[in-house]
């Protein structure tokens, strides 16, 4: 399989063979970039066998740039990438038969943000319709933060309160300013804006889609807004059974069940569920067979679209 780099204003793409009839675009999580998620390399040749090209994209939030980004900006970049490859394929002779998105970690928030109807969570309107969407390792950043060694509930509460006060006083003037380094230097290596700190770590902040303490009404505003005649036909939710960023107190099966309960049943894929033994990015520390199971679920999902 040949590969090449394609360029467009503001974005860099790495693409497999564009002669294939179907397209799956991968969106990584915080700190991710090209080839940083280990299951992508073995997934690609499996998909090629079934006529699917797997594309990784670098957005303006890739690697260490996530700290000053937002889900809205990510969705803008995803939209540009989709349109770029769709147009490129048309120029090559014919449109893609099927197009899907695969998100890992915060890429999951990006995808739900992309798919939801126009409400308080979304700002980008002209998003192309896709045939399928996959979210893998939809961990809560807030719960992950609170479970990190050295982070106390008091520190979390005080930092969010301080940032919230600044945003309340002068949102436009303070949203892009950076939080003090002592907020993040012991566990993050990237500067973080006031906006992104609040989005990631405040209860019901703009990135707070998957926390286990959210209510059915909260999930109705995200999963429940993925409409049957909206921006995707099917949704696959694949949760990592040994996700190191999910507190051990969280019942993963129950949480996925709550996601399902909020989602229109015609959209929810029966392949959804917990991959037992899988770590957050399904790396070598996963249980034997976990990565293969994930790849099989993704393969079976896309070929059924």
Count of domains for the chain: 2
Q: Token pair 């066998």 is at which residue? A: 49
pLDDT digits (tens, 9 = 90+) for 204-228: 999 999 999 999 999 999 999 998 7
Least confident range from 5-9, 29-33, 140-144: namely 5-9
The answer on 180 and 36 residing in a single domain is no
The answer on 27 and 121 residing in a single domain is yes
Cross-strand bridge partners of residue 193: 178
Query: What is the distance between the alpha carbons of residues 237 and 115, in angstroms, rounded to a whole number?
Result: 14
The answer on 134 and 46 residing in a single domain is yes
Residue 109: Cβ-neighbour burial (10 angstroms; 0-12, 13-18, 19+): buried
Least confident range from 24-33, 141-150, 255-264: namely 141-150
In terms of residue numbers, what domain contains 174?
Answer: 145-201
- Could you tell me which residues come within 8 angstroms of residue 14 by beta carbon, excluding any fewer than 6 positions away? 3, 4, 5, 6, 34, 55, 56, 57, 58
Confirm whether 120 is domain-assigned. yes
Alpha helices (runs of H) in 105-249, residue ranges in sequence order: 106-115, 141-147, 153-169, 171-174, 194-201, 216-220
The answer on 117 and 169 residing in a single domain is no
Confirm whether 236 is domain-assigned. yes
The answer on 158 and 135 residing in a single domain is no
Measured from the Cβ of residue 263, the count of other Cβ atoms closer than 10 Å reads 21
pLDDT digits (tens, 9 = 90+) for 218-269: 999 999 999 877 889 999 999 999 999 999 999 999 999 999 999 999 999 9
Q: What is the CATH number of the domain that holds 113?
A: 3.40.50.1820
234-240 and 132-136 strand pairing: parallel
- Give first-to-last CA distance, the chain, whole Å: 23
pLDDT digits (tens, 9 = 90+) for 158-191: 999 999 999 999 999 999 999 998 887 777 788 9
The answer on 266 and 223 residing in a single domain is yes
The answer on 262 and 178 residing in a single domain is no
Domain boundary among 176, 201, 226: 201
Residue 295: which pLDDT band, with cuts at 50, 70 and 90? very high
Query: To the nearest whole number, what is the mean pLDDT of the chain?
Result: 90
The closest of 230, 247, 47, 251 to 142, measured between CA atoms, is: 247
Is the model's pLDDT at 9 over the cut of 60?
Answer: no
Confirm whether 265 is domain-assigned. yes
The answer on 25 and 167 residing in a single domain is no
The answer on 285 and 249 residing in a single domain is yes
The answer on 238 and 126 residing in a single domain is yes
CA angle 259, 233, 129 (to 5 degrees): 115
- Helices 194-201 and 153-169 pack at an angle, to 10 degrees, of 130
Confirm whether 206 is domain-assigned. no
- In the DSSP assignment, the letter for residue 262 is H
- Could you tell me which residues come within 8 angstroms of residue 282 by beta carbon, excluding any fewer than 6 positions away? 38, 39, 136, 137, 240, 275, 290, 291, 294
The answer on 45 and 156 residing in a single domain is no
Confirm whether 284 is domain-assigned. yes
Confirm whether 81 is domain-assigned. yes
The answer on 218 and 79 residing in a single domain is yes
């Amino acid at each position: 399989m040949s590969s090449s780099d394609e360029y467009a204003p503001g974005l860099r793409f790495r693409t497999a063979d564009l002669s294939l009839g179907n397209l799956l675009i991968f969106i990584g999580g915080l700190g991710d970039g090209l080839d940083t998620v280990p299951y992508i390399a073995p997934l690609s040749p499996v998909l090629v066998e079934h006529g699917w090209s797997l594309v990784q994209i670098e957005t303006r939030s890739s690697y260490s740039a996530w700290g000053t980004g937002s889900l809205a900006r990510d969705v803008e970049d995803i939209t540009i990438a989709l349109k770029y490859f769709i147009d490129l394929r048309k120029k090559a002779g014919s449109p893609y038969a099927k197009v899907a998105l695969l998100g890992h970690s915060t890429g999951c928030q990006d995808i739900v943000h992309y798919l939801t109807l126009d409400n308080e969570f979304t700002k980008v309107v002209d998003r192309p319709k896709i045939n399928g969407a996959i979210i893998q390792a939809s961990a809560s950043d807030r719960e992950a933060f609170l479970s990190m060694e050295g982070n106390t509930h008091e520190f979390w509460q005080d930092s969010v309160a301080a940032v919230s006060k600044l945003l309340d006083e002068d949102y436009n003037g303070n949203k892009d300013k950076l939080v003090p380094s002592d907020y993040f230097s012991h566990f993050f290596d990237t500067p973080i804006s006031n906006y992104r700190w609040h989005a990631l770590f405040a209860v019901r902040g703009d990135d707070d889609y998957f926390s286990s303490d959210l209510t059915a009404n909260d999930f109705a505003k995200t999963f429940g807004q993925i409409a049957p005649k909206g921006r995707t036909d099917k949704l696959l939710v694949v949760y990592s059974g040994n996700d190191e960023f999910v507190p051990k107190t969280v019942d993963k099966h129950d949480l996925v069940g709550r996601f399902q309960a909020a989602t229109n049943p015609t959209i929810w894929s029966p392949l959804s569920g917990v991959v037992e033994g899988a770590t957050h990015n399904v790396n070598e520390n996963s249980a034997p067979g976990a990565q293969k199971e994930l790849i099989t679920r993704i393969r079976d999902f896309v070929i059924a679209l």
